[in-house]
Structure 1
């Protein structure tokens, strides 16, 4: 499981003084980037071997100013050409759950503009984070 610390920014807030729901997607993106930094060696954006195909999010509780949060990320399912990340956004001090989410990624060659089966080397990286 990968833990990604999140810094809440002023522009993440909405007029009701809580983190805006759109900001949670950005936090999940940071968590996916954390996965890439651990397992991929990319020199250009075209080297990132996947495209985001689906996002599913349950907002359980509001993140408020002053909350310290993190994202737990793990692989919950692996298919032939796609896999699922699961996430929890939680409070660092109280472990209160704010968000449960899932995303589906498709192994994709941006140069060829087509999906491909997940190569064995990449599958091994996914399996290391499978829960």
Structure 2
């Protein structure tokens, strides 16, 4: 599991007093930064590998300004060229949002997907999701 702390910003807070729903996908993406580094160690877009294919978000509870939130990112499934993530955002140990994202390992220069290398696959295995987590 990858864990990322988020400090909510005033600009992310809407008129109702909670973090706006459009912010949640951005926070989920922030939780994927360590995963992106596995595929593109230099973080350059010229060598970028991770292309998102699908993302789903379930809003479970409100998130508020003034208290840090945590993004948890697990690897749910590893395919030949793609992987599925399971993600949660928690604040005060409350589940506030959960979702999934599917990425493909893609060679931008060649314009096609590539097999996930064994060294990356081994590292991904260390972050596998278990139904016993919640």
**Do these two structures clear the TM 0.5 threshold for a shared fold by scoring above it?**
yes
Point out 4+ residue stretches in structure 1 off by more than 3 angstroms.
Answer: 37-40
- Counterparts of 2:77 and 2:103, CA distance in 1: 11
- Counterparts of 1:40 and 1:123, CA distance in 2: 14
Gaps of at least 5 residues in structure 1 are: none
- Aligned equivalent of 1:67: 67
Gaps of at least 5 residues in structure 2 are: 130-134
Specify whether residues 38 and 95 from structure 1 end up closer, same or farther in structure 2 by C-alpha distance, changes over 3 A only. farther
- Shift of residue 43 of structure 1? 4.7
- Shift of residue 3 of structure 1? 0.8
- Aligned equivalent of 1:16: 16
3-state SS of paired residue (1:62): coil
- Aligned equivalent of 2:97: 99
- Counterparts of 2:17 and 2:119, CA distance in 1: 44
Q: How does 1:1-131 map to 2 (within 5 A)?
A: 1-37=1-37, 40-91=40-91, 94-131=92-129
User: 1:28-84: per-residue Cα shift (whole Å, max 9, x none)?
Assistant: 111111323467512511323110111111000010122221001110111111101
Aligned residue pairs, count: 129
More deviation in 104-113 or 116-125?
116-125
Specify whether residues 102 and 4 from structure 1 end up closer, same or farther in structure 2 by C-alpha distance, changes over 3 A only. same
Specify whether residues 64 and 100 from structure 1 end up closer, same or farther in structure 2 by C-alpha distance, changes over 3 A only. same
More helix by share: 1
Query: RMSD over aligned Cα, in angstroms?
Result: 1.6
Contact 2:39 2:50 in 1 (8 A): no
3-state SS of paired residue (1:17): coil
